[in-house]
Amino acid sequence: MSLKDQITEDMKTAMRAKDSERLATIRLLMAAMKQKEVDERVALDDAMIVGVIDKMVKQRKDSVAAFTQGGRADLADKETAEIKVLEVYLPQRMGAEEIAAEVKAIVAELGAKGPGDMGKVMGAVKTRLAGKADMGQVSAAVKAALSGA
């Protein structure tokens, strides 16, 4: 079953269970997926859907930080609940050690040396680790690998 089919089935299940919060989050996800399909005139595959979900999770994490700083715990809790619903659809994330090992392998493959090659390495890393790792951690690992190279 594709990820898109799984999300559609979960939406139906949430409707039947009258789980309005989960349903609202899944509908937001479906709308974001549809928007990307229309904008880019493509049918989304699982990797592209993971990218959409990643973006939505990042937006919500930023919102949680802003709401917490602004003293709006109620809104921060709502965003946190949405993150939990969205993270169900993301693949298992790589650990810091796995990320560092993968980055070192890519740096070695490309023969990158020093911070000037950051863009080249990040381009290769993004294609290989998209959806599997938090890109903030990946960026830090690339910086560490290139400064030590």
pLDDT, block means (10 residues), the chain with 149 residues: 93 96 96 95 89 92 95 95 93 82 83 78 80 79 77
Torsion angle, CA of 46/51/56/58, rounded to 10 degrees?
Answer: 140
What does pTM read for this prediction? 0.75
> What token pair was written down for 66?
């802003």
Rounded-to-integer distance, Cα 84 and Cα 70, Å: 22
Rounded-to-integer distance, Cα 101 and Cα 118, Å: 16
Domains and CATH numbers, the chain: 3-87 (1.10.1510.10), 96-148 (1.10.10.410)
Return the pLDDT at 86: 94
> What token pair was written down for 71?
């003293």
Return the pLDDT at 144: 83
Return the pLDDT at 127: 79
